[in-house]
Amino acid sequence: MIRISLLILLVFLLARVVSGVVQRYQDKHAAGASFKKMLRQGRLDAGVYEDAVWSEVGTGRRKHLRSRVSREQQRVIRAARLQMREDFLDDSAPGFYQYIILFLVASVLGLVLETVYTLVTFGILESRVGLVWGPFSPLYGVGAVVLTMVLWPLRKRPAWQLFLLSAALGGTLEQVAGWSMEHFAHLQSWTYLGLPDHITQWVAWRFLVMWGLLGVVWCRVIMPEMIYRIGEPTSRRQKVVVALLTAFISLDIVMTVACFWRAGQRVEGIPPRNPFEAYVDTHFNDSFMERTFENMKIGEDLPVSDK
């Protein structure tokens, strides 16, 4: 899990770099949605165009004037944008709307990266989904949400405090997730028993260090930008879409838990005790579970690796 979490962080960092390049281009020409927003809010005024160089761009009827402002004015624009972001972050805290979007993005991105990582590293292309419906790996979504919920009020604390707290959070998340899957569904998805620095089957010192580093970068670089970009819902349509996604993902999680619960019971030879369990056994049988969750072992141990 931690390796894919680091890849997710890398993708977020690359996205941040790309958006930064685009933003600097827009700053150079005093353009873009955020620039217009700062004008509306009065954070900038027409003085930003002082000493600007204007040129005609486009062809035919689509010609228009484009400005190129001085470096000093570009610094003024960037300073105003940073202040606008900080004001938003100080006045707003992540809520249900932001957490749902963050969960979905991290879940889908985690699944994609885990699939690619497995293919490139081991030459294996297999289903890595974590839910019975849809392209989701919820453990990554939960990790992103938990890190954000805990670290948000502490995001301005010293880096060493963020490191220790993130390491503890990551280790706890892996231990709880691994132990729960093993004891409630007889399911294994990873094991560190072959590593010399393992603490438990699901926790190792090297990965605690990685969790700590991940938490610091997430808190200082990624999380504030993500929450700012998601923003607040500005239309009823956004609220309706998120509500529908919430209902779907909730049902998906409930059905997945029920499927793994019955899979574990089938291993122990326990027959269904009600119509719902019979429905699960009929439509989500062992063949379905093995085909959908190829990387997980139900009722048996994973092979131990020392790498």
Could you tell me the CA-to-CA distances from 258 to 70, 169, 188, 263, 285 in Å, in that order? 62, 27, 16, 8, 12
> CA 14 to CA 27: how far, in whole Å?
20
In tens digits, the chain (307 residues) has pLDDT values of: 667 777 777 888 888 888 889 999 988 988 888 888 898 888 888 788 877 888 887 777 777 778 888 888 889 999 998 899 899 988 888 999 999 999 999 899 888 888 887 788 778 777 788 899 989 988 888 888 988 999 998 888 999 999 999 999 988 988 988 888 777 766 677 778 888 888 988 888 988 998 898 889 888 888 888 898 898 888 889 999 999 999 999 999 999 989 988 888 888 888 999 999 999 999 999 899 888 887 666 655 555 555 5
Would residue 37 be called left, alpha or beta, if left means φ above 0 and alpha means ψ between -120 and 50 degrees? alpha
In the 8-state DSSP scheme, what is residue 14?
H
> CA 295 to CA 182: how far, in whole Å?
14
> CA 119 to CA 136: how far, in whole Å?
18
| Burial class (CB within 10 angstroms; exposed 0-12, middle 13-18, buried 19+) of 84 | middle
Looking at residue 112, what is its pLDDT? 86
Looking at residue 252, what is its pLDDT? 95
Q: Quick one: tokens of 307?
A: 């790498």
Q: Could you tell me which of 98, 113, 85, 68 has the C-alpha nearest to residue 16?
A: 85
Looking at residue 145, what is its pLDDT? 92
Per DSSP, what are the bridge partners of residue 53?
Answer: 68
> CA 101 to CA 242: how far, in whole Å?
8
| Domain segments of the chain as ranges | 27-90, 92-232+255-298
